Copies of this chain bind each other. A is one copy, B any other.
Amino acid sequence: MTFNDTFLRSIRKESVDHIPVWYMRQAGRYQPSYRKIKEKFSLEQITEQPELCAEVTIAPIEQLGVDAAILYSDIMTPIKPMGIDVEIKAGIGPVISNPVRTLADVNAMRVPNAKEDLPFVIETIEILVRELKVPLITFAGAPFTLASYIIEGGPSRNYYKTKQMMYSAPDVWNALMDKLSDMILSYMKAHIEAGAQAIQIFDSWVGSLSQSDYRTYVLPTMKKIFTGLQELNVPKIYFGVGTGELMRIWSELPVDVIGVDWRVPLDQARERVGSKFSLQGNLDPAYLLAPEDVRFAEAARILDMGMAQPGFVFNLGHGIFPEADVDVLKRLTDFVHEYSARRLSR
């Protein structure tokens, strides 16, 4: 089997014979194989065993036939060696016993060295790069999203403590943004050196900010990160949930792909960011529960918009959820491949 580089080619707007597909959280609880592994090991325990972690990362490629792998990991993985006491609690998410509130707290955080502090992550990437026949995406959480957990102490609905720090203690906020962006730059560089072929930066919760606050408190950090990542010469994807209102601002960033959730139709996303960027998205994951004809009609509608210009990757607008079905995702992947291949061969 030859290497399938359709994902990278489509991002670069080169000719492809089908639209590439991958899914956020494609290694996850919806898979019986994954649930079986999770009976024995926690997320942390899986990531600390490179062979097992590689197996978990590879499983969806085999089960679904997707065109890219994404490293099995968590956005909080590199946060623990920064001195933050984080635990991923089932059904809740990351919970932090020592939330960061003061400048002294931020100063006490150290920037980890991936090779020394997280050698198992690098080793997993090396195994994957040897074994995979599709590109490997690696990822990091963006500073706002990471900060929201680190400041709130866990998942939040309104991010009031996070915003309170932004407004009331900009020196602490800026120090935290700097520390997190140093971590992200060093962590992503180590992944790319180990062989990962693309980066996705998850800014899942930044859609809670107004445009004006994003511009003041977050944009400078994102510019620094994406500019710093440019020398790595791999495609960079930036994604958030409910971030349509920020998309025009995102077009100022040196990223290659804008991740779009289902709230923004792809033609409107293109209007906002311009034709320079490739797009990735944007089926509402809820369609995984719809009858197949309804789901395929929606996928076709999205493909028609996405394929109107070169530079498109099919994905969901957010991660796969536990109630989803492997066979549904396999058949959806096949549908996207076949429908787009038919259109492209015309």
Interface residues of A (CB under 8 A from B): 158-160, 163-164, 167-168, 207, 209-213, 242, 244-245, 262-265, 284-287, 289-291, 294-295, 298, 301, 321, 323
Contact of A211 among B160, B164, B265, B286 (CB under 8 A): B265
Q: Give the nearest-CB partner of A243 in chain B.
A: B263
Q: Which of A245, A265, A286, A298 has the most CB of B within 10 A?
A: A286
Instruction: Say yes or no: A160 contacts B323, CB within 8 Å.
Output: yes
Kindly list chain B residues whose C-beta atoms are within 8 Å of the C-beta of A323.
160
Kindly list chain B residues whose C-beta atoms are within 8 Å of the C-beta of A242.
207, 242, 263
Q: A159-B286, A163-B287, A168-B289 are in contact. List 9 more A-B contacts (CB 8 A).
A: A160-B285, A160-B289, A163-B289, A164-B290, A167-B287, A167-B290, A211-B263, A212-B298, A244-B244
Instruction: Say yes or no: B289 contacts A167, CB within 8 Å.
Output: yes
The copy count of this chain in the complex is: 2
Closest Cβ of chain B to A156, distance in Å, is 11
Q: 10 closest pairs, A vs B, by CB?
A: A167-B290, A163-B286, A164-B289, A210-B262, A245-B263, A167-B294, A160-B286, A244-B245, A242-B242, A168-B291
15 contacts between A and B (CB under 8 A): A159-B286, A160-B285, A160-B286, A160-B289, A163-B287, A163-B289, A167-B294, A168-B289, A168-B294, A210-B262, A210-B284, A212-B298, A213-B284, A242-B263, A245-B263
Closest Cβ of chain B to A300, distance in Å, is 12
Instruction: Say yes or no: B321 contacts A284, CB within 8 Å.
Output: no
A296 and B287 CA atoms in complex are apart in Å by: 43
Dominant SS among interface residues on chain A? helix
Closest Cβ of chain B to A106, distance in Å, is 19
Kindly list chain B residues whose C-beta atoms are within 8 Å of the C-beta of A264.
245
Q: Give the nearest-CB partner of A170 in chain B.
A: B294
Contact of A167 among B167, B210, B263, B286 (CB under 8 A): B286
A287 and B160 CA atoms in complex are apart in Å by: 9
Closest Cβ of chain B to A264, distance in Å, is 6
Closest Cβ of chain B to A212, distance in Å, is 7
A243 and B230 CA atoms in complex are apart in Å by: 34
- Given A168-B291, A289-B167, A290-B167, check contact A265 B210 (CB 8 Å): yes
